[in-house]
Amino acid sequence: MENEIDYYMKLPYTIVIKRDRDNDGGICYLARVLEIPHVLGDGKTAQEALECLDTHMIMAISAYLRDGISVPEPQTEYSGNINIRVDPELHAHLAQEAAARAMSLNKYTALVLERRQIIVRRDEKGGRDGKLKVKATVSRLRARDSGRAAFVDKSKG
């Protein structure tokens, strides 16, 4: 079972680290794995939160394996297709904007999403803040020695 646990711990899971406040009002960090529900780690530093998260991931993966439940794995390949439902008014607005630019709705929507990602990446690198009203500015980190993608949520709240 230890080899199986090692296999899963080396997979590129997505880790989100959020700065928060503890019960005494001090700064703390919460880490979670997006692909494995209810697995959390906490600490006074982001590194402590990651170390706690690793311990809890091992416990969760062990329980999954022990109980014969398949362990969720990260998705590594994407098709490039997204099917979304939107409010009819938003659909009309996007269609009108696309037509005004002589673009297909699909191409225009992809362009809007791509521009948003560029703005968020610019903000991560210290670019113009406030350009986009987003709840959270996300900055990428690398989880220590694991190669897993990690994000820090810098939202206030």
Q: 70 and 104 share a domain?
A: no
Which one has a higher pLDDT value, 147 or 47?
Answer: 47
Domain encompassing residue 36 = 2-76+135-153
CA triplet 13, 15, 17: central angle to 5 degrees? 175
Could you give the CA distance from residue 88 to residue 66 in angstroms, rounded to a whole number? 48
φ, ψ of residue 8 in degrees (nearest 5) = -70, -35
Q: 20 and 41 share a domain?
A: yes
Helix (H), strand (E) at residue 126: none
Of the ranges 42-46, 76-80, 131-135, 153-157, which one carries the lowest mean pLDDT score?
A: 131-135
Q: 23 and 55 share a domain?
A: yes
- Identify the pLDDT of residue 118: 64
Is residue 34 a part of any domain in this protein? yes
Could you give the CA distance from residue 95 to residue 106 in angstroms, rounded to a whole number? 9
Q: 104 and 67 share a domain?
A: no
- Rounded percentage of the chain residues whose pLDDT exceeds 70: 75
pLDDT in tens, 29-79: 999 998 998 999 999 999 999 999 999 999 999 999 999 999 999 988 888
Closest CA to 53 of 65, 36, 72: 36
Is residue 82 a part of any domain in this protein? no
Q: 72 and 104 share a domain?
A: no
Q: 14 and 72 share a domain?
A: yes
Structure tokens at 33: 């794995």
Structure tokens at 29: 């960090």
Q: 54 and 113 share a domain?
A: no
Q: 65 and 141 share a domain?
A: yes
Q: 72 and 139 share a domain?
A: yes
Q: 72 and 28 share a domain?
A: yes
Quote the pTM value: 0.57
Q: 61 and 114 share a domain?
A: no
DSSP state of 45: S
Q: 120 and 140 share a domain?
A: no
- Total domains in the chain come to 2
Is residue 130 a part of any domain in this protein? no
Measured CA distances, 59 to 86, 100, 103, 113, 141 (Å): 39, 55, 50, 37, 24
